[in-house]
Amino acid sequence: MTRHARPDANRAPNASRSRTIASTKTAALARRSTVVRDDASVVVGGRRRRAIVPRVFAPSNTRPPMTPHEEPELVDPEELLLVDGEIGPVTRPATKELDVAREAWYVRAILTADVYDVAIESPCEIAPRLSERIGASIYLKREDLQPVFSFKIRGAYNKMKQLSEEERARGVITSSLGCKAIIAMPVTTPGIKVEAVRRLGGEVVLVGENYDATQAYAKQRSKEEGLTYIPPFDDPFVIAGQGTVGVELLRQLPSVDIVFVPIGGGGLAAGMAAYIKAIRPEIRVIGVEPAGANAMTISLARGKIVKLNKVDGFADGVAVREPGRDCFEIIHSMLDGIITVRTDQIASAIKDVFGDTRSILEPAGAVAVAGAKAYCTANNFKGKVVAVTSGANMNFDRLRVISEIADQGGKEEATLLSVIPEKNGEFKRFVETVGDRNISEFKYRVQGDNARVLYSIEVSDIKEVQETMARMDALGFKTVDLSNDTATQFHLRHMTGGKARVKDERLYSVEIPERAGALGNFLDFISPKWSISMTHYRADGGQVGKVLFGVQVTENDREEFEKCLELCGYKYVDMTSNVAFRTLFGDDN
């Protein structure tokens, strides 16, 4: 694999000289696209803006100006649900002098960030097959090709370069480099990430079920042992390091309409937006979040930081409950908005990138690609866009699940459920009605006077799904589309059977950490008081596994039972009313 390094990357490290080179090159770029007026304002791309570029080369403060924040409110991710390709609302205050000063600080910090001792200038390349299918020119900014297969090395290294000799000697601790380094990670961290850190010589501490617990441990240990805490995203110098991706992008692809950036805590989006919107404000910068990890989306809509009460961990690299405060300051004032994507869309984007590059991204690394696809398709956009492929650290065993749901996200496969009469000749008539559609999966089960058929067919677009369903309904075969039903995709399509004669049965989906003993800990809360009637579990190699289970609970005991679920601390969803479950295993015909 060819690595694209900067021309001066192999020279002896010299912080002062490399900063001078970076500043000179970018200043020249800025001069070519910027007109400085006598009234201390600047016109960039035809839009008047306060003097950003002239201030860039003034002495920098230790930290940029920051607005005080109140404690975040706890919210549910489902508070704000967007349709495919829709940009979420932004409650944006009027620009203040503080905002202008902050933007100037960040542009200077990004221009002088020193990351190329450890990072490469990642290529920006067209995705030809994806572009042809979507109808837009889609470029990939390949941060997955960094030596550590992630953009995060930029920010962490830039932060460490700011440390004094004494601070470096004491060591650093981070919750997400030579000097002594301790890296705290959740116990559910994919093994490929853990082994990569150990191979680089860091001391790995696995602690906590989630990022919040791990971060708390890292901060506490840093105080106790006098270590310097290196945040994964919420720090001005970390943000500045990530912003170097934007500097490279404008040099590599001067003509671009939209840049799509993944958002977890917000460091990468903040850094890229701070630079791109200052130098080329006509370029739109759009963030992308998973629909179940949309903390920044809701924060922008409310105009203040919120904290999610639960988070979908499928794209674990961006599964953050609370955005960074430094990150929010920039994103709130400079980002053009955020769109959200589903799990199946992320999986489909992984497949798309593999088709064009033969590289396999992690789910978080494909979030921006999924967003670019959704936006261009929904808005019939035909211009030039860039999606940042932010990482490729994924356990190999996750590929099975991702492969299964990728076709759903790409609208290349539809999962349908039909109810047909159980009498001679009806099954043959059903198969003939499906027609020439290639059936990729099929489950048939007799239940009373009817049979339930759960099947997947290959399709090229949603119109073909609708045509198939219309033919089924015309012949009296009641049919529902379960392509986007999570319970079906993760569980029910792998199960067979019919209605069980179980009284007061309820169905729940619970997310349990994928580690030894987690399932036993969960059962301690509900057994033996309640009887379990059905279970299905399938590991997907991520931080959490989804367990589907049926349990006998009367309506009077339901509140007590769900309190037990809450005590165990795992995310759960009542799936009893799910249409697929009711049809396959319940009383619905």
Active site residues: 152, 390
Whole-angstrom Cα distance, residue 72 to residue 280? 32
CB 541 within 8 A of CB 347: no
DSSP state of 111: H
Q: How many helices (H) and strands (E) does the chain have?
A: 21, 23
Q: Backbone phi, then psi, for 142, in 5-degree steps? A: -85, 70
How far is C-alpha 251 from the geometric centre of its chain's CA atoms?
26
- Report which of 159, 137, 138, 156 is spatially closest to residue 146, judged by C-alpha positions: 156
With beta carbons less than 8 A apart as the criterion, state whether 536 and 497 touch.
no
Antiparallel, parallel or unpaired: β 137-142 and 384-389 = parallel
Cβ(384)–Cβ(256) below 8 Å: yes
**What's the N-to-C CA distance of the chain in angstroms?**
56
Give the rounded distance of the alpha carbon of 411 from its chain centre: 20
**In this structure, what token pair is assigned to residue 535?**
């279970």
DSSP letter, residue 61: P
Residue with tokens 């020193």: 114
The position carrying tokens 């004494």 is 166
Whole-angstrom Cα distance, residue 59 to residue 470? 68
Q: In 279-383, at which residue ranges do the beta strands (DSSP E only) sit?
A: 284-290, 306-308, 338-341
